[in-house]
């Protein structure tokens, strides 16, 4: 070090210049506004998730905006799940078809049950009889129709196999 500098005064000047340079760099990195500094560091990504609040002393502070975070997450999940390819792949899978069948069965049962309940509470005797028929005869009628449809599908698949052979 003694070789680089000729005098102690030169060393002190160099030290002062270095201190000034460090303070200038600190001023560049330190912002007056916390939200602005986070915005610069994250290139604007954090702007929508932060909000400025004033506390009891009147000082400004930065807080997370929970509503915006939840909204952003829900939009991301919705866009991912509601992608047309994902829906089609799920519908074509065995799980998707069984869920769809069960949903259809439950909706039919719910519709018929609600209609029968409303019919029973109606003052018209014809509607009451219709409600009773729906409650007592509809399940057996649906079972009969399901077995006939299964038999028809089975016969159709057997006949198409016979044609192939």
Q: What is the mean pLDDT of residues 85-113?
A: 74
Distance CA 155, CA 143 (A): 18
CB atoms within 10 A of CB 38: 17
Residues 11-47 have pLDDT tens digits of 888 899 999 988 877 776 676 677 777 777 777 777 7
Question: Is residue 40 a contact partner of residue 28, using CB atoms and an 8 Å limit?
Answer: no
Residue with tokens 């004033």: 54
List all residues 6 or more positions away from 55 whose beta carbon is below 8 Å from its beta carbon: 61
Q: What is the mean pLDDT of residues 117-134?
A: 85
Question: Could you state, in order of their start, the residue ranges of all structural domains in the chain?
Answer: 8-77, 97-164
Q: For 52, phi and psi rounded to 5 degrees? A: -95, 135
pLDDT band at 116 (very low <50, low <70, confident <90, very high): confident
């Amino acid at each position: 070090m003694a070789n680089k500098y000729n005098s102690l005064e030169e060393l002190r000047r160099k030290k002062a210049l270095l201190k000034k340079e460090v303070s200038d760099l600190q001023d560049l990195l330190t912002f007056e506004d916390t939200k602005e500094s986070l915005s610069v560091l994250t290139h604007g990504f954090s702007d929508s998730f932060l909000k400025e609040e004033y506390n009891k002393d009147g000082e400004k502070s930065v807080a997370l905006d929970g509503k915006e975070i939840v909204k952003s997450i829900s939009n991301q999940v919705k866009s991912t799940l509601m992608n047309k390819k994902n829906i089609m792949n799920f519908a074509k899978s065995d799980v998707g078809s069984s869920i769809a069948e069960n949903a259809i069965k439950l909706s039919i049962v719910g519709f018929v049950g609600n209609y029968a309940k409303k019919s029973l509470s109606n003052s018209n005797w014809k509607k009451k009889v219709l409600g009773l028929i729906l409650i007592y005869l509809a399940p057996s009628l649906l079972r009969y129709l399901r077995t006939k449809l299964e038999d028809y599908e089975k016969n159709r698949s057997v006949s198409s196999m016979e044609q192939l052979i």
